């Protein structure tokens, strides 16, 4: 994606993240990190789990780099106002129970927040869609509790199915049904979505927007947009130097595009 017409200074207060004509974004997003689970583990074939000690060190590194972790809604609001410098988006896919028991207390200790993406028909169950080890998911009570603690609760669909393979009707149901279920739990509008497996094409991004979501997170989108936001994977192997490399790589990419 190139933006040849109107180069804008990074985070300029006069350049909101939409082009003047209401078209697509005119500059890439601030850094958004993607996590799944924070827990001790014996085996983790899909590398979705970070140990609590490593997670705390990663947050400490972010803080020492002058970055504060926030949820997507806060990040996007700040970005629109040109206030996103110094913020990094923190996202947690699937809604594992450890988001309530381990992640939220650690984030609060650092003065950080995050967005958690919940699979609504699996609430209180486990990651049955996965061929790796079973991991428990948050209960209704835990979801309500993390929301009260200031975490953003957003949707990861009804059943964690790959949406590009879903029919139009099934896609619409995944988007609308999960949102309604979460709004009943948290008692406020749910404005964010994350595509299961990160998979989204133009049809899925248009459907998420049509379903009323303000933004949607992908993983490595073919065409990044507000409804297909790119994220950077963070795992157990991301110690200080690798974390710094990922932050720098993102900033270089950002600068080269504005
Ligand atoms: Zn997922």
Measure 93 CA to ligand 1 centroid, in angstroms. 5
State the pLDDT at residue 223: 85
Distance 157 CA to ligand 1 centre (A): 9
Q: How many CB atoms lie within 10 A of CB 23?
A: 9
Coil/strand/helix, residue 142: helix
Enter the CATH code of domain 35-257.
3.20.20.370
Interval between CA 137 and ligand 1 midpoint (Å)? 12
pLDDT at 220: 86
Separation CA 182–CA 157 (nearest Å): 10
Contact status, residue 165 vs residue 174, Cβ threshold 8 Å? no
Q: How many residues does the chain have?
A: 258
If one counts every other C-beta atom within 10 angstroms of the C-beta of residue 254, the result is: 16
The full set of domain ranges for the chain reads 35-257
Q: Can you tell me the distance from the alpha carbon of 147 to that of 145, in angstroms, rounded to the nearest whole number?
A: 5
Do the beta carbons of residue 95 and residue 138 sit within 8 Å? yes
Q: How many angstroms is it from 163 CA to the middle of ligand 1?
A: 12
Encoding tokens for residue 246?
A: 């990922």
CA of 133 to the centre of ligand 1 (A): 14
Quick one: pLDDT at residue 27?
58
Q: 168-186 and 202-210 are packed helices; what angle lies between their axes, rounded to 10 degrees?
A: 40
C-beta atoms surrounding 53 within 10 Å: 10
Spatial CB neighbours of 132, under 8 Å, sequence gap ≥ 6 = 43, 44, 45, 46, 48
Sign of CA dihedral 83, 85, 89, 90: negative
The CA 188 to ligand 1 mean position distance, Å, reads: 23
What's the gap in Å between 195 CA and the centre of ligand 1?
7
Rounded distance between C-alpha atoms, residue 218 and residue 82, angstroms: 23
Q: Residue 185: helix, strand or coil by DSSP?
A: helix
CA of 141 to the centre of ligand 1 (A): 21
* 58 Cα: distance to centroid of ligand 1 (angstroms): 21
Q: What is the Cα 130 distance to its own chain's centre?
A: 19
Instruction: State in Å: Cα 198 to ligand 1 middle.
Output: 7
| The pLDDT of residue 255 | 64
Task: Calculate how far, in angstroms, residue 80's C-alpha sits from the geometric centre of ligand 1.
Answer: 27
The answer to whether the beta carbons of residues 15 and 26 sit under 8 Å apart is yes
Query: What local confidence, expressed as pLDDT, does residue 256 receive?
Result: 58
Cα(43) to centroid of ligand 1, in Å? 18
Q: At what angle do helices 240-257 and 52-64 cross, to 10 degrees?
A: 50
Checking DSSP bridges between strand 232-233 and strand 215-217, what pairing results, if any? unpaired
235: left (phi over 0), alpha (psi -120 to 50) or beta: beta
pLDDT of residue 202: 95
Q: How far is the CA of 197 from the centre of ligand 1 (A)?
A: 5
The CA 20 to ligand 1 mean position distance, Å, reads 34
Q: What is the pLDDT along the chain (258 residues), one digit of tens a residue?
A: 444 444 344 443 333 444 443 445 445 678 999 999 999 999 999 999 999 999 999 999 999 999 999 999 999 999 999 899 899 999 999 999 999 999 999 999 999 999 999 999 999 999 999 998 999 999 999 999 999 999 999 999 999 999 999 999 999 999 999 999 999 999 999 999 999 999 999 999 999 999 999 999 999 888 889 999 999 999 999 999 999 999 888 877 766 554
Contact 217, 205 (CB under 8 A): no
């Amino acid at each position: 994606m190139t933006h040849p017409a109107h180069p804008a200074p990074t985070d300029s207060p006069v350049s909101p993240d939409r082009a003047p004509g209401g078209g697509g974004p005119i500059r890439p997003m601030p850094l958004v990190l993607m996590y799944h689970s924070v827990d001790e583990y014996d085996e983790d074939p899909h590398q979705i789990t970070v140990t609590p000690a490593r997670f705390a060190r990663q947050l400490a590194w972010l803080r020492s780099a002058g970055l504060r972790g926030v949820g997507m809604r806060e990040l996007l609001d700040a970005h629109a106002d040109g206030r996103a410098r110094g913020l990094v988006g923190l996202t947690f896919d699937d809604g594992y129970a450890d988001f309530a028991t381990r992640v939220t207390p650690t984030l609060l200790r650092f003065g950080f927040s995050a967005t958690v993406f919940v699979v609504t028909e699996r609430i209180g169950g486990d990651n049955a869609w996965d061929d790796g080890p079973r991991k428990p998911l948050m209960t209704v009570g835990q979801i309500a509790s993390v929301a009260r603690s200031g975490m953003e609760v957003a949707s990861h669909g009804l059943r964690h199915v790959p949406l590009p393979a879903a029919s139009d009707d099934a896609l619409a149901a995944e988007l609308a049904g999960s949102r309604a279920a979460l709004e009943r739990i948290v008692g406020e509008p749910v404005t964010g979505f994350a595509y299961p497996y990160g998979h989204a094409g133009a049809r899925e991004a248009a459907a998420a927007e049509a379903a009323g979501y303000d933004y949607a997170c992908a993983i490595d989108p073919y065409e990044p947009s507000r409804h297909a936001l790119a994220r950077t994977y963070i795992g157990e192997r991301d110690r200080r130097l690798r974390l710094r490399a990922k932050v720098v790589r993102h900033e270089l990419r950002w600068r080269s595009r504005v």
